[in-house]
Structure 1
């Protein structure tokens, strides 16, 4: 059983070095209201009220502020499992006298201003309202080189990269990295919400992954909706709606080391050795956003520590499921106890 092996691995205190890059955000968890005494607690209610046209506006009241961003969340999960994690992100808090990133219990290197994300934490489904970071939109590999030498960034057991959709310069950076003299390590890449874009945009993504693969082992990690979008954009999409065929086809088209689908029911990977599938623990969702970042953190730790694919996928599943069930990033000890409580270990 992969979760039994995972529990044993967690008990051995994994400690690989993991780097993450390049985004970052200040996450403001907000309460929405349609009037001073009229809270809006469901996304469907908000949609109905907005569509009705009776309201001129809605109240937005921040309740708490946290460090966020895909690379930050991934680094926090890797650190919680015991990794020596460093986040190379956009972490300059724009609020004078406040630095939300000071609370991070890991090493950070900032390359500029973060995005501002207002999170409407509805009961049925979260909604994000994003103020983009101009520094992130203008990011280039030269900014990372200015922050730290590339051999230092990649002198790890794994690297996790995310948020292609917010970083136009990432395509050029991948091509540059493909020509760079850096250690060959697992490179867990979560591109984010790649649902739009024309055929040329998807081709650019595949070509960038292929170029990057000259120097690192690219592991493309996407959710089921993103998987379908990537597969549909292939020059020769799979004829049948089968996720196993989708991950195989995308891996071949991008020449990636692996393509991984993470989702509520399972993790599915097409690797050089073949297909690997690991069922996901069934949980009741408390949080809808951030689970994919915890999956990437668990997967990066597993691959960085040399675990087999089943165990590494189980780590990603367990980290994501624990987070969406509890709203908390699990440590190795907490995750092991959580598995034992569910008779999975």
Structure 2
């Protein structure tokens, strides 16, 4: 389906965000201002793409009451979904912001264990998918082999879809060189790939381009937090500074960045213009509360019209 950005979330979560006057060990922490959001990397990407007027499809594993609640929230947000039933119960993640020191505490379960049948069901769904892009984002839960995203990349290539990946650890290492069109590592993930530190902006740009030329991925979007981001291709690297924003949360900011980047690239924007849109999405996300709360008006106030709607 032309223009459709499909996302895959193997390990979604019901995200609860709250505030507390202070967080102290051994004491009961009373929270307030609770917010509930559907979470997980791919889900966040699909939500932001939809908010910006793009066409998205969120493919997710769903189990138990929490899984159904996530589906209901996505339906309310008008995000098209394709759910893959699992026997386990979808996890709940909790983020608490301590008002006394402005620190954020995040509690993230590993998620339910998936079976070989569950993994096969996911791949079967992808094998029938028609989309311009497939974005796989997030961790792999127990039971899913670290090579899983290599299989996803293979199917994307067979189906003529461009493939974007945002993951970490063994799943990231195993996926390198598998035909990834866009890889989005953080600095720590990038350094884990290199097995060395990337201390300066110039070295990071050079190393990102070298990694692309090695065949790890066709494009690498290296996010650097308050230092901005780098988008590297075989031809070279574009670097842009972060857009200033009063940070209230970091939850879903990287996913929001990825949503903007893929949306811009899918519209045929230049690398620099798409990167600017990505940074705007990330800036709006961090200044909001909850998970990946990005609105089109907020983004367009920073970069002008987005390429949809």
**TM-score over 0.5 (shorter chain):** yes
Please, which of 89, 103, 108 is the counterpart of residue 125 of structure 1? 103
Measure the CA separation in 1 of the matches of 2:116 and 2:14: 18
What residue in structure 2 maps to residue 305 of structure 1? 267
What residue in structure 2 maps to residue 218 of structure 1? 181
Measure the CA separation in 2 of the matches of 1:166 and 1:243: 30
What residue in structure 1 maps to residue 164 of structure 2? 188
Partner SS, residue 181 of structure 2: strand
What residue in structure 2 maps to residue 172 of structure 1? 147
- 1:242-276 deviation digits (Å, cap 9, x = unpaired): 21133234334453101111232322022122111
Query: Can you give the 5+ residue segments of structure 1 that lack an aligned partner in the other structure?
Result: 1-14, 33-38, 41-45, 195-200, 341-345
- Asked whether 1:255 is paired with 2:216, we answer yes
Kept in 2, the 8 Å contact 1:158–1:303? The answer is no
- Asked whether 1:27 is paired with 2:2, we answer no
How many angstroms does 1:90 deviate by?
2.5
Measure the CA separation in 2 of the matches of 1:70 and 1:138: 22
Report the number of matched residues. Answer: 288
What residue in structure 2 maps to residue 36 of structure 1? none
How many angstroms does 1:278 deviate by?
2.0
Kept in 2, the 8 Å contact 1:186–1:304? The answer is no
TM-score (norm. length: structure 2): 0.80
- 1:9-36 deviation digits (Å, cap 9, x = unpaired): xxxxxx931111123101122455xxxx
Partner SS, residue 82 of structure 1: coil
Please, which of 111, 134, 150 is the counterpart of residue 112 of structure 2? 134
- Residues 1-345 of structure 1: pairs in structure 2 closer than 5 A: 16-22=3-9, 23-32=11-20, 39-40=21-22, 46=23, 49-50=24-25, 55=26, 57-59=27-29, 61=31, 63-95=34-66, 99-104=69-74, 105-111=78-84, 112=86, 113-123=89-99, 124-135=102-113, 141-146=119-124, 148-152=125-129, 155-164=130-139, 166=141, 169=144, 171-180=146-155, 182-192=158-168, 194=169, 201=170, 205-211=172-178, 213=179, 217-232=180-195, 242-262=203-223, 263-327=225-289, 329-339=293-303
Partner SS, residue 293 of structure 2: coil
Measure the CA separation in 1 of the matches of 2:299 and 2:200: 37
Measure the CA separation in 1 of the matches of 2:46 and 2:172: 24
Kept in 2, the 8 Å contact 1:206–1:254? The answer is no
Taking a change above 3 Å as real, the CA distance of residues 252 and 19 of structure 1, as seen in their structure-2 partners, is same
- 1:56-95 deviation digits (Å, cap 9, x = unpaired): x533657332211111111101111112111111334525
Query: Can you give the 5+ residue segments of structure 2 that lack an aligned partner in the other structure?
Result: 305-309
Partner SS, residue 120 of structure 2: helix
How many angstroms does 1:140 deviate by?
5.6
How many angstroms does 1:321 deviate by?
0.5
- 1:185-213 deviation digits (Å, cap 9, x = unpaired): 33221114x4xxxxxx4xx74442312x0
Kept in 1, the 8 Å contact 2:14–2:66? The answer is no
- 1:109-154 deviation digits (Å, cap 9, x = unpaired): 22234221011123423222123321458786412145x25241xx
Measure the CA separation in 2 of the matches of 1:167 and 1:257: 29
Kept in 2, the 8 Å contact 1:294–1:316? The answer is yes
How many angstroms does 1:100 deviate by?
3.8
Kept in 1, the 8 Å contact 2:230–2:239? The answer is yes
Measure the CA separation in 2 of the matches of 1:231 and 1:309: 23
Kept in 2, the 8 Å contact 1:151–1:182? The answer is no
Taking a change above 3 Å as real, the CA distance of residues 229 and 175 of structure 1, as seen in their structure-2 partners, is closer
